[in-house]
Each structure stands twice: as structure tokens, then as C-alpha cells.
A and B are shown apart, each in its own frame.
Chain A
Amino acid sequence: MPSIVPTFEWLEGLAWTTALRESPYGYPLIETSHVACIVIFAGLVIMMDLRLVGLAFTNAPLAQIQRRLFPWQMGAFVPSTATGILLFCVDPLRYYLNVFFLAKLVLLVLAGLNALAFHLKTYRRADRWDEDSQVTALARFAGAASLLLWSATIISSRLIPNNWFK
């Protein structure tokens, strides 16, 4: 099986990844933007999820909360992903076998699938979220799953530098 290592060595050796890795301000700025965007994204997602499970803003229609929060969530998600990819490219060999990094990727995919299923299925019936009990149950499930998956994603991200399992 061909190894991914030469590809990562090539990526790590590129002029721009090397420059970022050695830069006094570029790297900290990207790293901080990454965290700041995640904080904004997670805060917005948590509020949406709390509404979905029925703990916050219960007097406002679910569809309206979703419509208002979604563009802001995406506005934070896109730059957090872009900066995340940049940070990986700067040091691929440090991350690719890190167990917390791999856990983070799996959790991101699961959280993404949960959000996708919600948008493609449950969201279609957004007008009946607050009336139809079956739809309400689906929305509650999506909210609870989202809370769990995003929390786990953030926890595993924070553990990446600790690298307990080398």
C-alpha cells in the first residue's frame, strides 16, 4: 500500500507552509482565528440545539430561530474550517497519527451527517416542528445529537497537543 507520508513530507516542505510554520505572527493569528471562529460557531449551534431540544426560546417558532441563526453559523464555520485546513497543512506529520486528531475528524463527519440529515429531512417539515409531535421528536433528537457531537469534537480538538498516545 502506498504511504501517505511522502505526500505529507512534500506538503510540509513547501515554501508557504514552511514560512507559516516559522512565522512570528502569521501562525498565531491563524491559530487564534481558528479558535475564535469555533467559539462563535459553537455558541450559535448550542443555542439552536437548546431550542431544538426544547430548553431555550421555546416561545419563538423553531423555524424562525433556525432561519436567523443559520447564516451566522455558516459565516463562522467556513473560516474555522479554512483556518483548520491551513493549520493541518503547516504540520501534517504532527497530526495525521494523533489519536485525538483522528477522533476529531470522525466526530466532525458524524456531526456533519447529523446536520445534513436534519436539513434534508426534518427541515423540510419545519412549518410543523412545533405542532406535529413526530416531527418534534425528530428535531429533539437532532438537537441532542448535535450537542453531544460538537462538544466531543471540541474536547478532542483541545486534547490534540497533549498527544498522550504516541
Chain B
Amino acid sequence: MKTKTILVLLAAGALWAVQPVQAHHAFAAEYDQSKPVTLNGIITRMEWANPHGWIYLDTKEGGAVKHWMIETAAPSQLSRHGLKKADFTDGMTAMVKGYQGKTDPGLANGRTLVLKDGRSFYIGSVGGPNDGAEPR
């Protein structure tokens, strides 16, 4: 009986484990829902990493280059939405839509990524505003 209980608990734990572990930090803790941004620029680097990835993107504002650090979902979710690590090459141009950081103006939470070839991907984490970018 005891063994059975333990097995059930282990099975429940395993099921729970494969759910996305994305309630890592709240959207509202770092990002501002009222500050949507659309960034066209050059991806200098992409960190395909847990617990969430990062896109480093340079935009040009006037003559000056602005460095952005854009949070993305975790590798498992990016893969589920069709993206691959190999889709990123340093120096590629891309467009990212997202929301700006509350205190850090160079920080953004990415929602949509549009590549040069026109393919578009949802890159947002679970949570945050539903702006229609989130796949149903």
C-alpha cells in the first residue's frame, strides 16, 4: 500500500515536471505592458538557454546604435513554436515585437520574432499580456 502511494506520487511528479516551468519570474515584475516596442535590427547574439533565452539585438536610432537584450521563452517552447537554434546566426537582421523593461530601457520581453525570410514565430513566455501574438 505504501509503495503504491509512493509510485502514484512519483508519477504525479513526473507529469508535473513536463509542464513548462515558466512561472519563473512574473512578467509584471520586470516588463511594462503599456510600453510595446517593435525593434528592427541586427541580432548580434542569441542565447538558446534555460530557464529562458536571450536575443541581443542592435537597432539604429538616428545615428546611434542601441543595444537591446530581449528575453525569450525556454528552448522547449521555442522548439514547440517551430524555431531551431540553427535559425539564429550572429549578424542576421530580424524584427522583434515585445514589451520594454520597467526600469531598464534596453531590456525587452519578446513576443514575436520575424525573420528576414518572412517566417514569424511566437517567442514569448507564458504569462504577460495577451496581445494576439500568443498562439491559441
On A, residues with C-beta under 8 Å from B are 20-25, 27-29, 31-33, 36, 90-91, 161-162
Chain A proximity of B32: nearest CB distance (Å): 16
B17 close to A24 (CB less than 8 A): no
Chain B proximity of A52: nearest CB distance (Å): 26
Which DSSP category, helix, strand, loop or mixed, fits chain B's interface?
Answer: loop
Which DSSP category, helix, strand, loop or mixed, fits chain A's interface?
Answer: helix
B51 close to A24 (CB less than 8 A): no
Given A28-B74, A162-B29: A22 in contact with B50 (beta carbons within 8 A):
yes
Partner of A32, one of B16, B49, B75: B16
B127 at interface by CB-CB < 8 Å = no
Residues B64-108 near A (CB distance < 8 A): 74-76, 79, 85
On B, residues with C-beta under 8 Å from A are 13, 16-18, 20-21, 24-25, 29, 48-51, 74-76, 79, 85
Partner of B48, one of A22, A36, A161: A22
CB pairs A–B below 8 angstroms (22 shown): A21-B49, A22-B48, A22-B49, A22-B50, A22-B85, A23-B50, A24-B75, A24-B76, A27-B51, A27-B74, A27-B75, A28-B17, A29-B17, A29-B18, A32-B13, A32-B16, A32-B21, A33-B17, A36-B16, A36-B17, A161-B24, A162-B25
Distance in angstroms between the alpha carbons of A3 and B50 in the assembled complex: 26
